[in-house]
Amino acid sequence: MAIFKDIWFSCKEATLLTLKEREEGLPVASKFRLMVHLSYCKCCKLFVKQTKLMDQAAKKYKENLFQHPPHKLSQEARDSIQKQLEGGK
């Protein structure tokens, strides 16, 4: 029975381990414990799936943001602002 006590843990701990795994990795024992928990817990399994989807979406957004900056002024707008700053209309 002691072995089950070492393997069995709460959804809260599974969530924390999932996030830690994504950021910095886990030791083998913790990975095994998480795998066991995910084998019977549908909610935590769904959390892992949603976390992966959010990571993928954030990565795509970041890549797109650098390729196509969202707020780039046209040359005409830049010239107009420059003129106003210099005191001319």
Specify the number of domains making up the chain. Answer: 1
- Among 27, 29, 47, 28, residue whose Cα is nearest residue 38: 47
Mean pLDDT of 66-81: 80
Instruction: Using pLDDT thresholds of 50, 70 and 90, give the confidence band for residue 35.
Output: very high
User: What pLDDT is attached to residue 21?
Assistant: 92
Q: What is the predicted pLDDT for the residue at 19?
A: 93
